Amino acid sequence: MSKHGTRNFSIVGVGASAGGVEALIELFRDMPVGIGLGFVVVTHLGPGRESSLPGIIASHSALPVEVVRDGRWSGRAASTCWPAPSG
């Protein structure tokens, strides 16, 4: 954050259906670690279904992965992927 409380990097929102995992793997597979962008990833899952997306992205990407918890995310670091939780 800058001294004015604003981020010094852009956030990219990515949405996919539950069947879009392969496309997300392709997107993040060769993503450079120092890209300078943050990625918030949202997929469609039915209620009560647990998402394995954070582990999948982490195993196919060099980007750090931080899970969004209780509607909160750190949003502090560029070049990070934040998958939204299921539900």
Q: Which pLDDT score, from 0 to 100, does residue 6 have?
A: 53
Question: pLDDT, tens digit, for every residue of 66-85?
Answer: 887 776 666 667 788 888 77
pLDDT above 70 coverage of the chain, percent: 82
* Domains along the sequence of the chain with CATH: 10-83 (3.40.50.180)
pLDDT-derived band at 4 (thresholds 50, 70, 90) equals: very low
What lies within 8 Å, CB to CB, of 4 at 6+ separation is none
Query: Do the beta carbons of residue 82 and residue 40 sit within 8 Å?
Result: yes
Helix (H) or strand (E) holding 59: helix 53-60
Q: Say yes or no to pLDDT of 36 above 60.
A: yes
Q: Are 86 and 49 in contact (CB under 8 A)?
A: yes
